[in-house]
Structure 1
């Protein structure tokens, strides 16, 4: 119905109504049409109410009605969860499930604003500086200058295992073993149950700052102050290859599967990333021994911007913090997707980078950044730094000597 016909219909309905409600009056059509629009609208709302409120679902078969309601509610709650930054598993088609997720996320957002989202646990046991941390599935491994490594249950604060080691600069563990990189230029593999040293890796001529390994490949990788990256046989302890090209200390190595395709790699290919003060190098790695650098990433040609050893790679994106902010690369194209500049980037370090939120920290606070707005949405005060009884007393944010404090969000996305 076009506008002209609708207006004619509206006038005829109004005239009929007024004539029926006041039959004693012999008013002309012109007078009736001249009544206020409010009277005409009041008539429509009163007499068309039953038509406008018709429940069309009652006209459908019962099974179809239940299906439509179920799908609609699920999609509504999923959309609400997405807006809060929650990752959605489309295989779960339960409105009740997503409603509970939404309510939990809303509570978390409220707790973040009110600084109530984090629990602080004091893990007491080391007698010197804690250099190395690795967290997985509610367990935290700490490596210290007191020549020990400890495994903690962060929920209870209890130490599960303690192993006498060398001075640990890097640690990584699984259910059976612990791998440590040390300032003594070596790497060691330890058995949790007995504390025995299973394997010792010798070959670096500088401190080993970072390690990673993959049992499927039987491969261990390490980055060192000797400017090299070494590839080892995890079971045999032998060096398979030494990768050169870095001109600064290699402070971070990551061994990960690619999840995207490019002209240089396919999904499922194992990729090694190594980072120094200015560059990130990308290497193909697998069962072959020899490999060549695929790509070198940097943020400034004149080396005016320094990278921090806060490198993340999930198979799709590379993220690294720097003196001026956070950089994110697309792994398929190696293009820089975004640069998040911050006022105090020199003192802020990256802790974690997700789909919607990032965690940053300095010597005083843990910060939550909303990546959609690139703004800090909350912060949490870190415990005061405690000086070590042994060695240097340089401030190392978030890591404390003989009392290590670990803050966590209890599963926040």
Structure 2
């Protein structure tokens, strides 16, 4: 019985010691809480100086847990996304490097990356709720901007074959058509640099092509349609009294349009070569024409209607495609009433938006309302838009 009695006595002693320690700890804690902040710091410094290796290791492990809490893991996902919206994209990308979980959570926040794309001027489709898509769009745009700044965005190569000035260019699906003062036009494979076709033409100021044919506008005031395979002239269009700077056509409509230095736009029968209409109103050389379907509804047009845009140095005119002799301009767009800003022959129209470059930068209009959506800030040379993504 003696061993059992001894064991019980030891447990009782340990229990009493534990109670006395807890009472002491409670007293010390109460006293510690009454101290000022500097006094608390001094007390901790003194205790740390009295601590050995075991205590310091214990302190280090616990401090790391208290001070370095993973809020992305602890907070509800909705609250995490709300907090991430306050961070700039550069910080977010740095946070993605912390660990796989942070990268996954940050990469899944659609609103964050859509906002980052919008900040770059990108046209964001809110119906596309794919965070990784918008993150990739943002990363690609930033990479391209950095490459542009460092002049590393483009690779250059020479296409050798013409013997005089090359004035006319048209690119489509990896193929480049060039028109030259050497009275020839050539079709090149951009990837290989090889010339696919070369035909004898007139002096080319404008070119456009498809698989079978090439249409050229010339400094000799005429337009011609050529067959690639044989080099034969299929059709010729005469009527302009100035150089033809731009051409566009549509096989479905059997229509060709042209803009000239004689200040007019002409509408032709593509197959017959006959002039169907002459549109007047420009007071400068017509340097660009675009024939395209409307994709939006407005008072003046419906989706599916073909629209003709023509541009000169200061104005863009919008015309309906009809064969009425007295065809009237639907709308005239300009960027400066005093003509202090000059437009360049870089006009794009996708059925929803009109974009044109100027000596200051890019201008964008909504085609349904004709309202100007964006214009270059003072000193800005480049503006991102949805067309850059296309």
Normalising by structure 1, what TM-score? Answer: 0.59
Q: Is the contact made by 1:15 and 1:32 (CA closer than 8 Å) also made in structure 2?
A: no
Match of 2:39 among 24, 47, 70: 24
Aligned length: 335
Question: SS at 1:332's partner residue?
Answer: coil
Q: Select between 29-38 and 111-120 the one with higher mean Cα deviation.
A: 29-38
Higher mean alpha-carbon deviation, 138-147 vs 236-245, is at 236-245
Q: Which digits, 9 at most, give the CA deviation of each residue in 1:336-370, with x for residues without a partner? A: 44xxxxxxxxxxxxxxxxxxxxxxxxxxxxxxxxx
Q: Which one of 348, 361, 365 corresponds to residue 325 of structure 1? A: 361
Cα distance, 1:150–1:15 mapped onto 2, change above 3 Å: farther
Between the aligned partners of 1:26 and 1:136, the Cα distance in structure 2 is 73
Q: Cα 1:3–1:332, aligned 2, differ >3 Å: closer, same or farther? A: farther
Residues 17 and 43, structure 1, Cα contact 8 Å, conserved in 2: no
CA–CA separation in structure 2 for the residues paired with 1:84 and 1:33: 52
Per-residue CA shift, 1:302-342, capped at 9, x if unaligned? Answer: 555544333333333333344565544333333444xxxxx
Query: Does the CA-based 8 Å contact 1:18-1:32 persist in structure 2?
Result: no
CA distance in 2, matches of 1:6, 1:237: 108
Output the CA distance in 2 between the equivalents of 1:81 and 1:2: 66
Listed as ranges, the matches of 1:74-85 within 5 Å are none
Q: Distance in 1 between matches of 2:24 and 2:278?
A: 86
**SS state of the match for residue 109, structure 2?**
helix
Q: 132-141 or 10-19: which moved more?
A: 10-19
Instruction: Point out which structure has higher relative CO (alpha carbons under 8 A, 6+ apart).
Output: 1
- 1:176 deviates by 1.9
CA RMSD of aligned residues (A): 8.1
Instruction: Judging by fraction of residues, say which structure has more helix.
Output: 2
Aligned match of 2:202 in 158, 162, 166?
166
Greater CA drift, 123-132 or 303-312? 303-312
Contact 1:134 1:172 in 2 (8 A): yes
Question: Do the aligned partners of 1:153 and 1:160 also contact (CA within 8 Å) in 2?
Answer: yes
Higher mean displacement: 205-214 or 58-67: 58-67
Q: Secondary structure at the match of 1:44?
A: helix
Measured after TM superposition, the shift of residue 225 of structure 1 is: 2.0
Which protein has the larger Cα radius of gyration, Structure 1 or Structure 2?
Answer: 2
Q: In 1, are the aligned partners of 2:81 and 2:109 still within 8 Å (CA)?
A: no
Distance 1:237 1:53, change over 3 A: same
The alignment partner of 2:152 has SS state of: coil
Q: For residues 319 and 216 of structure 1, what CA distance do their matches in structure 2 show? A: 25
Residues 269, 286 of structure 1: 8 Å contact kept: no
Report the Cα distance in structure 2 between the residues aligned to 1:310 and 1:278, rounded to whole angstroms.
13
Instruction: From the superposition, tell whether residues 10 and 65 of structure 1 become closer, same or farther in structure 2 (CA, over 3 Å).
Output: farther
Shift of 1:125: 0.8
Q: Relative to 1, partners in 2 of residues 1:29 and 1:255: Cα closer, same or farther, differing over 3 Å?
A: closer
Distance in 2 between residues matched to 1:4 and 1:312, nearest whole Å: 85
Closer/same/farther in 2, CA of residues 162 and 331 from structure 1, 3 Å limit:
same
**Kept after mapping to 1: 8 A contact 2:32/2:40:** no
1:392 maps to: none
Shift of residue 247 of structure 1?
2.8
Relative to structure 1, the CA distance from residue 19 to residue 8 in structure 2 (aligned partners, 3 Å threshold; closer, same or farther) is same
TM-score (norm 2): 0.63
Match of 1:181 in 2: 217
CA contact (8 A) 1:217 1:287 kept: no
Equivalent position SS for 1:245: coil
Which blocks of at least 5 consecutive residues in structure 2 are unaligned? 1-15, 85-107, 374-390
Deviations 1:235-265 (A, max 9, x none): 2222211112223322221112223333222
Deviates more, 1:134-143 or 1:15-24: 15-24
User: Aligned pair in 2 of structure 1 residues 325, 86: CA closer, same or farther (>3 Å)?
Assistant: closer
Deviation digits for residues 247-304 of structure 1, max 9, x if unmatched?
A: 3322221112223333222333221111223332211115777631112233445555
1:143, 1:169 within 8 Å by CA — same for their partners in 2? yes
Q: Please state how far the C-alpha of 1:163 moved relative to its aligned partner.
A: 1.1
Alpha-carbon distance between aligned partners in 1 of 2:143 and 2:150, rounded to the nearest angstrom: 11
Flag the 1:91–1:190 CA change in 2: closer, same or farther, 3 A.
farther
Name the structure where strand makes up a greater proportion of residues.
Answer: 1
Give the CA deviation at 1:102.
Answer: 5.6
C-alpha distance after superposition, 1:4-34 (max 9, x if no partner): 9999999999869999999999999999999
Taking the TM superposition and a 5 Å limit, the aligned residue runs for 1:61-72 are: 72=108
Equivalent position of 1:154 in the other structure: 190
